[in-house]
Amino acid sequence: MSLAVEDVRGLLVAKLTTLGQTALRDRDEFDALTEPELPATLVDEPGMVEITNIEGTAGGAAYHAASFALTFAATTSAVAQANFNAALAALMNDYSLGGQVLDITPLNYGGDENGGKDIFAITLEIRVRFLTPPNDFGTLLT
């Protein structure tokens, strides 16, 4: 992934951390969470990022849309739901991450499920739109 996408992912982790949630990234999908790590929120790397060049802007810009999956895992369904609700409210109250991105839009969420023995998880998929210079996907424009 580009540096700008990783910067956006870092901004999401920072936002979740301000809520008192343990936010994890760069986690191997086969590396299971352990009970002492819970509750935790996993911020997955996006798959494909849509890019559109914007004409007519000073110096030009590239518009990006990336989908991130946030997975709220806990030992109880109530804690997973509370962390999900707190994160969603925080992101919708600051949908630009302090002016660093254009906006954040919730796309869908997965219902409360038992992700393993004694672990409950809820996944929220969001789309984050942001700008970079037209031929430099490593610099996040704010």
Tell me: the pLDDT tens digits for 29-74? 788 888 888 999 999 989 889 988 777 656 678 999 999 999 999 9
Q: What span, in angstroms and rounded, lies between the C-alpha atoms of 13 and 17?
A: 6
Q: Angle at Cα 49 formed by Cα 47 and Cα 55, nearest 5°?
A: 175
Residue 1 has pLDDT above 60, yes or no: yes
Q: Residue 59 corresponds to which tokens in the numbers above? A: 């110096």
Mean pLDDT over 80-88 rounds to 96
| DSSP structural state of residue 36 | G
Tell me: the pLDDT tens digits for 118-135? 789 999 999 999 999 888
Q: At 59, is the secondary structure helix, strand, or coil? A: coil
Residue type, 3: L
When pLDDT is cut at 50, 70 and 90, the band that residue 115 belongs to is low
Q: Residue 41 corresponds to which tokens in the numbers above? A: 């929120």
Domains and CATH numbers, the chain: 3-132 (3.30.2000.10)
Q: Who's near 89: CB < 8 A, 6+ residues apart?
A: none
Residue type, 1: M
Q: What span, in angstroms and rounded, lies between the C-alpha atoms of 88 and 95?
A: 10
